[in-house]
Amino acid sequence: MLAVAVVLALLPEDAHRQAVLAASTNIDNLRHDPAAVLLLSAFVVQTSGEVLLLVPLVVVMTVCSRRIGRSSTVVAALFGHVGATLVVATFLAAGVRQGDVSRSVTTAPDVGVSYALAGTAGLLAGALPPRWRWVCVVGGLVALAVLIGLDPDFTNAGHLVAFTTGLGLALVAVQARTRRAAPSP
């Protein structure tokens, strides 16, 4: 993501905008080349400031990897990114079809790693000691509710979907860890 951000920053503004639109998980791109845009969009940033999301992403993924496992962490990031993208795109497409949402969303830029971050942040609840899990769950849900209240757009709704997906995966991970720790009969 950092390398892509550097390359994009060096491009002329028009080329940068075209590259972002080509990698976007907007409805048009998802119809024509879903696998490519679902993969590419997580590594593309619209602005250089979005690169700062790498810091919390690396921290959260490191903690989750060490405490829950690398595979679970990658699954949470993947499900957070892909799952939230597809849920949001489905609701947007339905809204456009019914005339409740502007057609402009079908080609709007939608890139970044924030859904993967939200998914792994939800998984983080399973990586924390039991007495601190509620802080992660309640804190994450309150932060997202405030964000949606301040800016009720489809991206922030996707963050909530990704976070709750991560929470569901955290529940599975905690139950699996509890079963492994229990003595065999």
Distance between the two ends of the chain, CA-based, in angstroms?
48
d(CA 79, CA 102): 27
pLDDT of residue 181: 66
Residue 138 has pLDDT above 70, yes or no: yes
Question: Would you state the pLDDT for residue 150?
Answer: 95
Q: Are 27 and 87 in contact (CB under 8 A)?
A: no
pLDDT surpassing 90 at residue 161: yes
The pLDDT tens digits for 6-53 are 888 889 999 999 999 999 999 999 999 999 999 999 999 888 888 899
Average pLDDT over residues 109-137: 92
**Spatial contact of 26 and 103, defined as CB atoms under 8 Å apart:** no
pLDDT confidence band for 130 (50 / 70 / 90): confident
**What span, in angstroms and rounded, lies between the C-alpha atoms of 144 and 159?**
7
For residue 162, which phi and psi values (nearest 5 degrees)?
Answer: -65, -45
pLDDT at 176 exceeding the cut of 80: no
Report, as an integer, the average pLDDT of 96-119. Answer: 94
Nearest by Cα to 80 from 132, 26, 134, 42: 42
